[in-house]
Structure 1
Amino acid sequence: MRHAETVTFGGSALDRAGEVRGDVDALAAAMADPDARTVLIWRGKPLINRARPAMLMRVRLDHPALAQADASPIFLGREDGAPRFAHDLSGWQPEDLDASQLGGFLDPSEQHHPAFASDEVFVELRRVMTWLSARDAEMAATAKAVFGWHTTHMFCAKCGAASDVSMGGWQRTCPACGAHHFPRTDPVVIMLITHGNSVLMGRSPGWPEGMYSLLAGFVEPGETLEAAVRREVFEEAGVRVGPVDYLSSQPWPFPASLMFGCRGQATSHDITIDPVEIEAAMWVSREEMMTIFAGEHPTILPARKGAIAHFLIENWLADTLD
């Protein structure tokens, strides 16, 4: 495995067992397997045991909490030969729910279902992604992304009729026109743009104070990754980019992106930001970035651990990009 594949949400080699998804009998047998387990998602938040080391919960399919789950689970695949599913428990309503905390940039709230132990709670994945093993992170991200897609794609994009879940949760089929729809993944480029000994950093409006990261943007139809890197950097910061290399990718289930980490060499230095796109941008030297990563910079915070931006910058500092 390349070092680049060790980024969060990647590299666990989960057997997704795609051949089972369309086999009704095989799916039924998987559901009946005594070794089958499921992960639970509540409004995009996975159920974990937060005792360190934190662990994604794998629940028996006869657990009483599943009586409140949606009837259409997702077949995630096999783990050590045993079937793994995901169930959506979003219909459950916590008695002490403070809805104002949900959906924030970094939701600190935890929800406890009475059928589970006190340290078994639903948490925001972005907050705990570095607590989990590679396998747990991949399974949680997959379940969160696919359930999120189902929530926003309940109707056929071709004729507008309500569609049905099929293929073990990996497809929606329209009973009216027969169209098939599949989970959406949006390609996004995120760029380590260097000029000499410095890297280009920016921040979006609404981010926590002091937070900067690498520039990023969606790939447009008919566009290569390299072209998207050059276009996005020029649009956001007014910087021209020459050679571009691909480095690493990261599934990013917030809500459903695939981040393509790229390295580009700037051919210009002056910055002119587009205030609609970003709030600020700056060149940060390697020496200053080391201070930032050490948590000793007076005004700038390091990129969030677990995000591919942190992974790329950390490896740039260590000269271990491959």
Structure 2
Amino acid sequence: MSFPHLDLAANAHDRAGERRVDDAWLDARWEDPETRVLVVAGTRIRPVDGAIPWLPPADAPYDGRRVLLGERDGRAWFALIVDPEDAPGERGEWVGLRAVLPRLAGVDAEGADLAEAPLVFHAVGMAEWHWATRFCPWCGGTLEPRLAGAELVCTQCGKAQFPRTDPAVIMAITCGEPGSRDEALLLGRQSAWPTGRYSTLAGFLEPGETLEDAVRREVWEEVGVRVGEVTYFGNQPWPLPASLMLGFLGRAESLEINVDGREIEDARWFTRAQMRERAESGDLVLPGGVSISRSLVEHWYGGPLPGSW
């Protein structure tokens, strides 16, 4: 079966790292009307009629920090990061990345390709990093962009800073004989979520830890279930604000659930029959189709399920 989260990695662009030091090439591309620019106000973008507004450079604001994203379809692509105070339009028109996720995969009603997620993820991820990295962590000095925005260098001590991505594990934990009627999948929910919303468990990797051990630790800490065998499933860029979601399948060695009450409010085992019945009735609401969590659930279930966040 196909996995919807992979749509967000489709049609990746050439990041053209060798061009980041070529000022003449960068200037020429900025003057090229075929070049496309995404304006990011702080960390937010401004959809136009629901679409991502890629502009020719001449239509972009004059002031801002240019970040080269790369090349695709015979043209150059940039992000232009501007101060939110200087952004055009009303502040409420600018939204976070999560608000446009459904737009970033597949095709629209007219059949137009919407597989622009890698470019948008790159642009917003870089904007998040520039927005959060204001001063040198070594000496507190000011930072200047280099390499077409891919590096920040301290004007005082000369230390260079580079974008960071935080690895996070997300896992489908099962119990029972694989493929049997009694096999069940573990799902949990946070107290802040609306009633009925459940998802696979997830958490961040800690220093000195393998990914497999992070799966085991997070499940134990959040719901008190011991996990044995862990196998890799797939991954998904998730710049909200700067993560890579690494999906895993795991087999439970214990069944009793003891939620931590802090991150997880409730967790339950769902058989396939229970999952189908509750999803069809609306009592169980699963993550959206573009998320790797949805892919993990439907991979285990064996096909698509109704309803989503």
d(CA) in 1 for partners of 2:9, 2:55: 23
In structure 1, what residue type is equivalent to 2:270? V
Match of 1:297 among 270, 278, 282: 282
d(CA) in 2 for partners of 1:312, 1:304: 12
Alignment of 1:277-296 (within 5 A): 277-294=263-280, 296=281
SS in 2 for 1:148: helix
Equivalence for 1:314: 298
Change (3 A) 1:222 1:248: same
CA contact (8 A) 1:201 1:212 kept: yes
d(CA) in 2 for partners of 1:248, 1:151: 29
In structure 2, what residue type is equivalent to 1:281? A
CA contact (8 A) 1:4 1:247 kept: no
Equivalence for 1:162: 142
CA contact (8 A) 1:292 1:302 kept: no
What are structure 2's unaligned runs of at least 5 residues? 106-113, 177-182, 305-309
CA contact (8 A) 2:97 2:240 kept: no
Equivalence for 2:22: 23
In structure 2, what residue type is equivalent to 1:260? L
Equivalence for 1:149: 129
CA contact (8 A) 1:55 1:132 kept: no
d(CA) in 2 for partners of 1:24, 1:39: 20
- Residues 1:58 and 2:51 aligned together: no
Question: CA offsets, 1:2-57, max 9 Å, x none?
Answer: 9569524313221111111122232222222231110122343333333xxx5322
Question: Deviation at 1:231?
Answer: 0.6
CA RMSD of aligned residues (A): 2.2
Question: CA offsets, 1:166-224, max 9 Å, x none?
Answer: 11111111121111111111000001101121111111232223221111000011111
What are structure 1's unaligned runs of at least 5 residues? 98-109, 112-121
SS in 1 for 2:85: coil
Equivalence for 2:108: none
Q: Percent sequence identity over matched residues?
A: 38
- Residues 1:184 and 2:183 aligned together: no
Match of 2:258 among 272, 276, 295: 272
Change (3 A) 1:18 1:3: farther
Equivalence for 1:117: none
Question: Deviation at 1:319?
Answer: 6.3
CA contact (8 A) 2:10 2:117 kept: no
d(CA) in 2 for partners of 1:266, 1:237: 12
In structure 1, what residue type is equivalent to 2:96? E
d(CA) in 2 for partners of 1:83, 1:57: 15
d(CA) in 2 for partners of 1:62, 1:158: 38
d(CA) in 1 for partners of 2:22, 2:233: 37
Equivalence for 1:44: 43
- Count matched residues: 289
Change (3 A) 1:46 1:136: farther
SS in 2 for 1:7: helix
In structure 1, what residue type is equivalent to 2:128? G
Change (3 A) 1:202 1:249: same
Return 309-318 or 233-242, whichever deviates more. Answer: 309-318
In structure 2, what residue type is equivalent to 1:297? G
d(CA) in 1 for partners of 2:90, 2:70: 34
Question: Deviation at 1:140?
Answer: 1.5
Question: Deviation at 1:93?
Answer: 5.4
CA contact (8 A) 2:4 2:291 kept: no
d(CA) in 1 for partners of 2:69, 2:171: 31
CA contact (8 A) 2:42 2:131 kept: no
Change (3 A) 1:24 1:292: farther
Question: CA offsets, 1:61-109, max 9 Å, x none?
Answer: 011x513x42x11111012121000112423357754xxxxxxxxxxxx
d(CA) in 2 for partners of 1:135, 1:57: 14
In structure 1, what residue type is equivalent to 2:101? M
Match of 1:88 among 81, 92, 95: 81
In structure 1, what residue type is equivalent to 2:77? R
